[in-house]
Amino acid sequence: MKRAQSNSPVWHPFHQHLLEPAPKKIIRTEGAHLVDERGHSIFDAVSSWWVITHRHRHPAIMNAIREATARFDQIIFAEYTHEPAEALAQGLIALAPPGLAYVFFSDSGSTSVEVALKMALGFFHNQERPRSRIAVLQHSYHGDTIGTMSAGARGVFNAAYGSLLFEVDTLPFPAPGCEQKTLDAFEHFCRNDEVAALLIEPLVLGAGGMRMYPASVLVELERIARHHGTLLIADEVMTGWGRTGTLFACEQAGITPDMLCVSKGITGGALPLAATLCTAAIYDAHLSADRSRTFFHSSSYTANPIACAAALANLDVWRDEPVASRLDALQHLHRERLAPFRSDRRFSNVRQLGTIAALDLAVETTGYLSEAGPALRAFFRQRDLLIRPLGNVIYLMPPYCTTQSDLDRAYAAIDEAADLIAAAA
């Protein structure tokens, strides 16, 4: 098949180069917007894949990066440490749900979850009572490494790699009215004492379709896990840093997981960094005079000092600026603008949690490969809106500086797009 014409050697993620238009070149970012080479200001309604929290190029975070580059580049994190990492670890523990005591740094959301999976298996292995199963929610997504793909839903994302993936115990998604089925399935899997951990996205399944479930389900899943000695891993890579209306989604259930995975917004979106927080019990299970019980994991850029400095500045922003009021304002704007869509037959499952809003376009073919997805993206692109539907699922997850006019433009485009998609059907 003929290759798509392009002058660039870059292979872009989640981009079918034979079908998609050439990527726009961005020359600057500002606030909630990207500026392309033609000078067009594009509303970043998905926070550049959910990473930008407060705003693009927050001054305090950018200043911290500049200052850190005057003293640091990468430092090996085996045998050595540095103040940005030490201070950040202390800051994360202070903000996290009570009981988390140690921080293991990595460099992406996928790796933070991979670290947690290995910690869970090592926890039981080092106590000579090995457990080998991982339980997950149906439709979940946890990353693109082999381990995290194994823990995610099977489908188009990982069909080519099936022979490499390990099996997991999958709980049915707790759809409204079906919550007990989820709890019963988890209870069933835990009875054989083989489930090492439940890995879960708290309250919202992101790439799986922005599927939302109540905090009461998370409370009950945690109770079952504790009863059976199963560990709980909270994947807060997307849900953390205010997206659900609280700093971490786990707060809304009042629980402390055994491991908490964070990335994306940890630096306000400025630089890649991730962390896996764990309890003292997880750490202690790897603490031994027997060197074979060492936690054998690392990446070359573990705890990059410049990224850690950015994350420290982000913690200061959360402490010193009225972030909570910005979250409240954005939630209110979403709620008002979603209201007319709730009775609109062109859409279904209109939903919101915190600063995340989503609705499903009523089309014949649904799911990630729905033809509505590319058509919607093309429509939004023409209107200088960065909105990337998950097939027929349209969602908005903008930075916290988003204005009423930004959201009005986005929701007006969603309304217009629905008519155009229907007319083309």
- pLDDT computed for residue 156 by the predictor: 85
Q: Which residues pair with 170 in a beta bridge?
A: 136
Q: Which residues contact 26 (CB under 8 A, 6 or more apart)?
A: 34, 35, 36, 37, 42
What is residue 268's three-state secondary structure? Answer: coil
- pLDDT computed for residue 393 by the predictor: 97
Topology classification of domain 60-320? Aspartate Aminotransferase; domain 2 (3.40.640)
Residue type, 219: V
Structure tokens at 398: 């903008």
**How many beta carbons lie within 10 A of that of residue 240, not counting itself?**
27
Per the CATH hierarchy, to which homologous superfamily does domain 26-54+322-424 belong?
Aspartate Aminotransferase, domain 1 (3.90.1150.10)
Q: Which residues contact 189 (CB under 8 A, 6 or more apart)?
A: 133, 135, 169, 171, 195
* 323-338 vs 404-424: helix crossing angle, rounded to 10: 30
The pTM assigned to this predicted structure is 0.97
CB-neighbour burial class of residue 343 (10 A; exposed 0-12, middle 13-18, buried 19+):
exposed
- pLDDT computed for residue 423 by the predictor: 74
Structure tokens at 259: 């491991």
Q: State how far the alpha carbon of 269 is from the alpha carbons of 36, 50, 107, 293, 311, in Å.
A: 19, 8, 12, 35, 9
CA 141 remoteness from chain centre: 9
- pLDDT computed for residue 141 by the predictor: 96
> What are the residue ranges spanned by the domains of the chain?
26-54+322-424, 60-320
- pLDDT computed for residue 5 by the predictor: 57
Residues of the chain with pLDDT under 50: none
Q: What is the pLDDT of residues 183-236, one digit of tens each?
A: 999 999 999 999 999 999 999 999 999 999 999 999 999 999 999 999 999 999
300 phi and psi angles, rounded to 5 deg: -60, -35
SS3 of 353-409: the string is ECCEEEEEECCCCCCCCCCHHHHHHHHHHHCCEECCCECCEEEECCCCCCCHHHHHH
Structure tokens at 197: 């951990």
Q: In what order do the strands lie in the sheet with 356-361?
A: 347-353, 356-361, 393-396
- pLDDT computed for residue 3 by the predictor: 58
- pLDDT computed for residue 112 by the predictor: 98
